[in-house]
Amino acid sequence: MAVVVVPSLVAAQAGGQKRFEVEAGTVGEALRGLPVSDLLFDERGELRPLVNVYVDGVDARQSHGLDTKLGPTTEVRVVAAIAGG
Partner 1 sequence: MSPVVLVGTKKGLFLVRGDDARTSWEVEGPQLTGWQVFHAVRDPRDGTLHAAANNWVYGATAQRSTDGGQTWDRSEGLGLPEDSELKLTEAWHVEPGHASEPDTLFLGGAPGVLFRTDDGGTTWEVNRALLEHPTRERWQPGAGGLCCHSIQIDPNDAKRMAIAISAAGMFVSEDGGESWEPRNTGVAADFMPDDKYPEVGQCVHKLLLHPARPERFWQQNHCGVYRSDDRGETWERLDKNGLPSDFGFGLALDPSDPDAAWVVPEEGAENRVTPDGQLGVYRTRDGGGSWQRLENGLPKPAWAAVLREGMAYDDRSIAVGTQSGSVFVTSDGGESWIEAASQLPPVLSVELA
Q: Which residue's CB is nearer to partner 1, number 25 or number 45?
A: 45
Q: Which residue's CB is nearer to partner 1, number 22 or number 80?
A: 80
Q: Does 12 bind partner 1 (CB under 8 A)?
A: yes
Q: Which residue's CB is nearer to partner 1, number 61 or number 69?
A: 61
Size of the site for partner 1 (CB under 8 A): 19
Q: What type of residue is 43?
A: E
Contact 31, 48 (CB under 8 A): no
Contact 60, 66 (CB under 8 A): yes
Which residue of 1, 13, 25, 67 would you call a contact of partner 1, by CB under 8 A?
A: 13
CA distances from 62 to 10, 23, 59 (A): 24, 23, 6
